[in-house]
Chains A and B, each alone.
Chain A
């Protein structure tokens, strides 16, 4: 069995290939002169294509989350909104607006009364001042204690640099005053404690966000829809999570405030415009938590094993082609490379689309692209110059027991195992 799977030269070459990829990986980091190119593709992942181009455009509207666009509301309007939503029987109200300072004592007081009149209200705040050694945040800001001390709060920080895409989020962080949940996690917890427990059980410091889609996945109301007293809101709001925030989708000037890059961006490389409002990202996270639809990433070990297997079998395939048909080797392998790249891309896309399994195929494709030259270099260069390698057979010898019982057959097999000497000039030289 092993004889059919293990081929010594392919195995040696696979290890050499791993070393080569590691060297290239190290060098890539130091290629500063490639920065403009690096910048544009640095923040790109194959799964971005799945989100932006291969995703089913059909909508599965989430009936547990309703978004309300407030534009830039005054505090008394916000109080009225909260009152109307509370009266309609919402289970959780999550306000994605930072009530940073006290303004008018009267309206502030009215707003606080509205906020505290319901149990499950979450306010947005930010955390800052991280201690690099302990990982503890020292500052909680953007929400005045007048409001925050009386209701639940959650941090709205996304994990991103200035230009990159929002792909991951932190469920909870430690602050000097204790543990602090993120805004969407807090809202999801108040709505469904079990769902939040499932998230905490995973124990990940950060979670990959699984995007169900843009704002179309949720019912979106304008503040006028909520404040219209002639309407009965119970039908759309009762027992739901209501996210209140900035969502000016139909605004003629399409403001850029609170818009972020996501993998759903139609232009997944190079310069583009941010595509999603923060409140929609929060809604996607909440939905992911409630539906338990986390992105599955294979462990480092499994990824290494898969990369090894793909690299090994690919090298063996190319090596066999090289040994048997050396003349059209270029032609055949180039086509194979293109075909295999498409198949790998299809597999990665398929796994992510249907099973949310996110595989980093970067190393697979690098190995695939290097195989062609590596096989040639190894067979013509390394193997000939290092006598030890030259002595190693292409296939493992048969076991001793078998040799004894079937001496004639073994000798026939042995002769067939030897590489063809007529076709290749390289083999002739190795015989010398």
Chain B
């Protein structure tokens, strides 16, 4: 019995030692960020990097990354923050098959009847979704309610104002907060196009990503806007500019501008908007600050607000 236990223990030890705990980055397109642990400063990954399984990963914009874990290739896309371990588990599950299995799978597929010309002519409509001549471009968005993107990215724990644009029609708006598994965390019926939430009072975890969305009736809905909550201490830690020489030698207004830009870079859009706004209100005649604020709003797809800001000065 002891011998068996000893062998079992040794096997577990060897397996534990040899098991790969890192994922290798093969290729990166655009910007992809990795967080080794919660609260850590996100780092941009590059080909050849080894990422630990316990970390989290997120792509910026349309960025993507190609990873490899124990021979299994994994493609990561999307702006949602995801556990590396979870991504790996899903990929590994779907790629295990022996040579014989693949062979018989191929034979089985070969036995299935292909699409003949006759079949194609008879049921042509069934086969019209496979190819089309043209490229993807601008189109009517699926989301009819436009959610304002200042409440995406990292949000403070205290009162946060979630806003969206008004759409024609009647009836209340349904505001919903969901977690990564699409489980509803909070739900509110509202008449207005904004809601103020104290996120601290909701059952939200610090290291998880959530989404908020608005619907009205069956037709009108907004896109799901991802967000996460971030304590003030981490905001200060990740946007600390005090050690930089240019920051030290800058004027107060310039410091505020630099901070606003850093906040935006680190996805603290809500805090960045407040900083830009404060800066603009303190210096209403400063064209540079006005334009910086307007371009920030434009980057968040808030073009009407940006236009108003610019045209307001011109008047």
A-side interface residues toward B, CB under 8 Å?
49, 53-54, 56-61, 66, 215-216, 218-222, 225, 228, 231, 235-236, 249-250, 342, 346, 349-350, 353-354
Contact with A along B1-42 (1 / 0, CB 8 A): 000000000000000000000001011111000000000000
User: B64 near A: Cβ within 8 Å?
Assistant: yes
* 8 Å CB contact of A58 from B29, B71, B107: B71
A235-B48, A250-B64 known; A222+B29 contact, CB < 8 A: yes
Contact of B95 among A53, A58, A216, A228 (CB under 8 A): A58
**B24, A54: Cβ atoms closer than 8 Å:** no
Q: Which residues of A contact B102 (CB under 8 A)?
A: 53-54, 56
Residue in B closest to A225 when the chains form the complex, CB atoms: B46
For the complex formed, measure the closest distance between the CB of A234 and the CB atoms of chain B, giving whole angstroms. 10
Asked whether B46 lies within 8 Å of A216 as measured between CB atoms, the reply is no
Looking at the assembled complex, report how far the CB atom of A255 sits from the nearest CB atom of chain B, in whole angstroms.
Answer: 14
Does B204 count as interface, using CB distance less than 8 angstroms?
no
- For B27, the chain A residues whose CB sits under 8 A away are 215, 219-221, 249-250
A329 smallest CB distance to B (angstroms)? 25
8 Å CB contact of A216 from B26, B30, B64: B26
Q: List B residues at the A interface (Cβ < 8 Å).
A: 24, 26-30, 46-48, 64, 66, 68, 70-73, 95, 99, 102-103, 106-107
Q: Out of B29, B64, B66, B99, name the residue touching A353 (CB < 8 Å).
A: B99
Write the chain B residue with the least CB distance to A52.
Answer: B106
With the chains together, A235 CA to B45 CA distance in Å?
A: 14
* CB atoms of A61 and B106 under 8 A apart: no
With contact pairs A56-B99, A236-B47, A350-B99 given, residues A250 and B29 touching in the complex (Cβ less than 8 Å): yes
Question: Chain B: which residue is nearest A346 at the CB level?
Answer: B103
A291 to chain B, nearest CB (A): 16
Name which residue of chain B comes closest to A69, CB basis: B27
Q: Judging by beta carbons under 8 Å apart, are B107 and A342 in contact?
A: yes
Question: Looking across the interface, which residue of chain A has its beta carbon closest to that of B106?
Answer: A53
Task: Decide: B47 and A216 in contact? CB cutoff 8 A.
Answer: no
* CB pair B103 A225 closer than 8 Å: no
Q: Are B24 and A61 in contact (CB under 8 A)?
A: yes
17 more A-B residue pairs beyond the given contacts A59-B26, A219-B48, with a C-beta to C-beta distance below 8 A: A49-B106, A53-B106, A56-B99, A56-B102, A58-B72, A58-B73, A58-B95, A59-B71, A59-B72, A61-B24, A61-B68, A66-B47, A215-B27, A218-B26, A222-B28, A236-B46, A353-B99
Supply 30 A–B pairs (Cβ within 8 Å), ascending by A: A49-B106, A53-B102, A53-B106, A54-B106, A57-B72, A57-B73, A58-B70, A58-B72, A59-B72, A60-B71, A61-B24, A61-B68, A66-B47, A216-B66, A219-B24, A219-B48, A220-B27, A220-B47, A221-B46, A221-B48, A225-B47, A235-B48, A236-B46, A236-B48, A250-B27, A250-B29, A250-B64, A342-B107, A349-B103, A350-B99
Q: Give the distance in Å from the alpha carbon of A66 to the alpha carbon of B102 in the complex.
A: 30
Tell me the bound Cα distance from A222 to B31 in angstroms.
12
A61 CA to B201 CA in the complex, in Å? 48
CA–CA, A249 to B46, complex, Å?
16
Q: How far is the CB of B61 from chain A (nearest CB, A)?
A: 13
Provide the bound-state CA to CA distance between A53 and B24, in Å.
Answer: 25
Measured between beta carbons, the chain B residues less than 8 angstroms from A235 are 48
- B70: chain A residues at CB < 8 Å are 58
B107 → chain A, closest Cβ, in Å?
7
- Of A54, A56, A219, A342, most B-chain CB atoms within 10 Å: A219
Chain A contacts of B26 at CB under 8 A? 59, 61, 216, 218-220
A346–chain B nearest beta-carbon distance, Å: 6
Q: In whole angstroms, how far apart are the Cα atoms of A218 and B6 in the complex?
A: 40
- Interchain CA distance A213-B103 in the complex, whole Å: 18
Taking CB atoms, residues of chain B closer than 8 Å to A228 are: 46
Contacts of A60 in B (CB 8 A): 71
A219 to B66, CA, bound (A): 10
Docked pose: A216 CA to B71 CA in angstroms: 10
Minimum CB–CB distance from B115 to chain A (whole Å) comes to: 13
Q: For B72, what are the chain A residues with a Cβ–Cβ distance below 8 Å?
A: 57-59
Measured between beta carbons, the chain A residues less than 8 angstroms from B95 are 57-58
Task: Check A59–B47 contact: CB distance below 8 A.
Answer: no
Closest residue of chain B to A250 (Cβ to Cβ) is B29
B48 contacts A216, CB within 8 Å? no
Inside 8 A of A218's CB, which chain B residues have their CB? 26
